[in-house]
Structure 1
Amino acid sequence: MTTFGYFLSSEEHDSKELVRQTKLAEEAGFEVLWISDHFHPWLDEQGESSFVWSVIGAVSQATSLPVTTAVTCPIIRVHPAIIAQAAATAQTLLDGGFRLGVGAGEALNEHILGDQWPPAEQRQRMLEEAVDGYIHTAPAADMVEAFHKAGGEGRPCAAGLKVCWANDEAEARKTVHRLWPNQGIPGEAAQLLPLPRHFEQLAQLVTEEAATRSTPCGPSPEAHLSAIRAHVDAGFDEVYIAQIGTEQEGFFEFYSTRILPRLRERRSRELS
C-alpha cells in the first residue's frame, strides 16, 4: 500500500513558510511529510536553507503527521553522534513519528568545514551501516528491485517528486525553469559542485524542456496522477510531492479535491 506525502523544500521556502505549509498539507489530506536537509540552496534563486532540526521542532508543534528527513548526510558535515541526538530529540517531539532519512551527500552541503570530499564509493561505504530503507527521486523500478534483492525486502522504499501546479501550464513551466533548472543538469555534477554559483553556471545550459522533463506542470489532473502512479507502479511504498513556486494554496486545494481522493480510491481498490 502506497502512502502519499508532502515534500517540504528547505531550499525554496523559509522556516515560517515551511511550518505554514505543514498545516496546509495536513488539512489537504497528505499523510506524511518529507523535509530536505541542506546547508546551501542549489541555486541562489531558490533563496533559502534553514537549519532542518530547528524547523522540525517547530513542525512537530504544528502537525500530527510523521516526518522524515530527505536526506541527512551523517558522515561529514555533522558528526554521527550529533545526528543521533538530534534524531532522538525529533522522535520525542513527534511522539515516535520521526524517521531519519540518510544519504551520502553532495559537496554543496558537506564541504563547508574544509574536509576532503571523498569519492562516491568511499561515501557509500561510510554510509552503508546506517541504511534502513531506500530513497530515490525517480520512478526507478530496477533500483527498487535491486534494493529488495540485496536484503531490503520489507524495508521502506520512498520516492520524491516535484510538481508545479498553476492555472497556466506555460507559466508553471517557466517557474520550474527559473527555480529548479538544476534538475536538468546531467551526470555526477550534483554530487561534486561545491557552491550555488557553480550550479547556476551549468544551469544556463539547461533548456526549459530539460528542466521540466520529469515535473508535471499546470492544472491537468492526469499529468500529476500519471507521474505519481509511475512511482507507485515502480514499487515505492511512499511518494512525497513538492510544489515548486508560490502557488501553495492553489496546489493544496487542487490536491485535496482532484488528486488525493483519486489516489486513495485506487489504493482502496487494490486492497479490496
Structure 2
Amino acid sequence: MPPAELLAAVVRAEQAGFTAAMCSDHFSPWSVRQGESGFAWSWLGAALQATEQVPFGVVNAPGQRYHPAIIAQAIGSLGAMFPGRFWAALGSGEASNEHITGGGWPRKDVRNARLRECVDIIRALLRGEEVSHDGLVTVDRARLWTRPDTPPPLIGAACSEKTAAWCAEWADGLITVNAPVEQLRKITDAYRSAGGEGPLHLQVHLSWAPDEDEALALAHDQWRTNVHGPPASWDLDMAETFDNVSEHVSPEHVRRSVNVSSDLGQHTAWLQEYAEMGFDSVMLHHVGQQQSAWIDAFGSKVLPQLDVTRPAPASARP
C-alpha cells in the first residue's frame, strides 16, 4: 500500500482500539502485485506524530544497506521525540532488500556476526559513547549528539530456535512470526531457556473478509510469495523472482502461513491462544491491500473479546 494510505490506516486502528503498531524496513515488496515499498523511517516519524499513544516498532537489518551509526541516529532521534513509544527489532536481513548495495550477499553465519557487531555499536552510541570499530563494519569516531534520556529497546528478530537462543545474548526482547503453535513454543522456550529477557512479540499474518472464499483468494493473491522458509526467503533477491517461484503455490498452501477465515470468532480464538502462550504483544498484519474493513470489524467484534492492554513504555535493558 502507498505510505499515505498506511498512515491513514494506523490512525484508524488507534481509534478502533488497537494499542500498538509496527512495520518492517524493506526496500522492495515481496511481490510485484504488492506494488509499493515506502521508506520505513519517514513513515514512522509521520505515524508517531499522527497518533496519540500507540507505541511503534520497526524490523531493521543494519550492516549492509544501512551503516549501524545511521540506524543508531534514527533510533535515537525517534526515541528523543517520542519517549517510550519506539522500539527497533534487529535482524540479519534478506537479499531482496540488501542486494541493492552491490556488495554481495554474505553467508548466514557472517551476517549474524555482522549483526552482533552492529548491536554493540548501536548500544554504545545510544549510551553517548564515541565509537570507533574495525571489523565486518567500520566506524570512525562516531557520536550521537541527539539521544533520548532512556535508550529504546533493541529486540531480537528470530524465526528459528537457534536464532532465538542466540538473540538471548543481546536482545531486550524477541519478535517472531506466526507459525504452528508447537514451533512457536520451541522458539520462545529457546529464548527464555538461554536467559532471554524482556517482552515476547508476535507478528500474525491474517486474512479476513465476510466471505471465506474471498478471504482465501485475497491471501493467495497477496501472500503466496511468503510461504517459502529460509534459506529461500533470505536469499531470493527480486520481487519478480519471488513471483516466479510462487507461481504454483496453492491457496491451501497459503493457509499454512496466514490465518485465513471469514469467522471473527475463529480469529479471536487464534489470538487468545497466542496470548495464553505468553506473548506480551501480538501485532496483526492483514495481508490485503484494503485495511479499513478489517480494522473496523476487529475493533468492534474481536478486540472486545480479548484482554487488550496498553504496552508499558519501551525501554532497553539497564
Name the residue aligned to 2:190.
146
Q: Does 1:58 align with 2:98?
A: no
AA of the residue aligned to 2:193? K
1:219 deviates by 2.8
1:21-56, CA deviations, whole angstroms, 9 ceiling, x for partnerless residues?
Answer: 111110111111111110000111011111111101
Q: Secondary structure at the match of 1:100?
A: strand
Is residue 66–residue 97 contact of structure 1 (8 Å, CA) maintained in 2?
Answer: yes
Is residue 61–residue 93 contact of structure 2 (8 Å, CA) maintained in 1?
Answer: yes
| More displaced stretch, 27-36 vs 256-265 | 256-265
Superposed, which structure 2 residues align to 1:17-28 within 5 Å?
17-28=5-16
Q: Does 1:159 align with 2:147?
A: no
Which consecutive residues of structure 1, in runs of 5 or more, have no partner in the other structure? 1-12, 268-272
Tell me which of the two structures has the higher relative contact order, counting C-alpha pairs closer than 8 angstroms and 6 or more residues apart. Answer: 1
Runs of 4 or more, structure 1, over 6 Å off, are none
Name the residue aligned to 1:107.
95
1:186 deviates by 3.9
| More displaced stretch, 217-226 vs 20-29 | 217-226
Instruction: Provide closer, same or farther for how the CA distance between residues 223 and 264 of structure 1 changes in structure 2, counting only shifts above 3 A.
Output: same
Distance 2:199 2:62 in 1: 19
1:145 deviates by 0.9
Q: Does 1:248 align with 2:291?
A: yes
Q: Does 1:84 align with 2:84?
A: no
Q: Secondary structure at the match of 1:152?
A: coil
| More displaced stretch, 49-58 vs 120-129 | 120-129
Is residue 34–residue 68 contact of structure 1 (8 Å, CA) maintained in 2?
Answer: yes
1:171-217, CA deviations, whole angstroms, 9 ceiling, x for partnerless residues?
Answer: 11111111110222244200000111110111112111111223233
Distance 1:238 1:182 in 2: 26
1:111 deviates by 1.3
Is residue 226–residue 233 contact of structure 2 (8 Å, CA) maintained in 1?
Answer: no
| More displaced stretch, 79-88 vs 216-225 | 216-225
Is residue 173–residue 200 contact of structure 2 (8 Å, CA) maintained in 1?
Answer: yes
Q: Secondary structure at the match of 2:101?
A: coil
TM-score normalised according to structure 1 size: 0.87
1:228 deviates by 1.7
Q: Does 1:73 align with 2:116?
A: no
Larger radius of gyration: 2
AA of the residue aligned to 1:18? L
Is residue 141–residue 235 contact of structure 1 (8 Å, CA) maintained in 2?
Answer: no
AA of the residue aligned to 1:204? E
Name the residue aligned to 1:9.
none
Q: Does 1:220 align with 2:263?
A: yes
Superposed, which structure 2 residues align to 1:87-98 within 5 Å?
87-98=75-86
Which consecutive residues of structure 2, in runs of 5 or more, have no partner in the other structure? 120-170, 310-318
Q: Secondary structure at the match of 1:180?
A: helix
1:137 deviates by 0.4
222, 229, 233: which one aligns with 1:190: 233
1:243-268, CA deviations, whole angstroms, 9 ceiling, x for partnerless residues?
Answer: 12244222112111111111127x8x
Is residue 25–residue 39 contact of structure 2 (8 Å, CA) maintained in 1?
Answer: yes
Name the residue aligned to 2:172.
132
Q: Secondary structure at the match of 1:264?
A: coil
TM-score normalised according to structure 2 size: 0.75
215, 230, 246: which one aligns with 1:172: 215
Q: Secondary structure at the match of 2:257?
A: coil
Is residue 185–residue 206 contact of structure 1 (8 Å, CA) maintained in 2?
Answer: no
Distance 1:126 1:234 in 2: 32
Give the total of aligned pairs: 252
Distance 2:97 2:257 in 1: 24
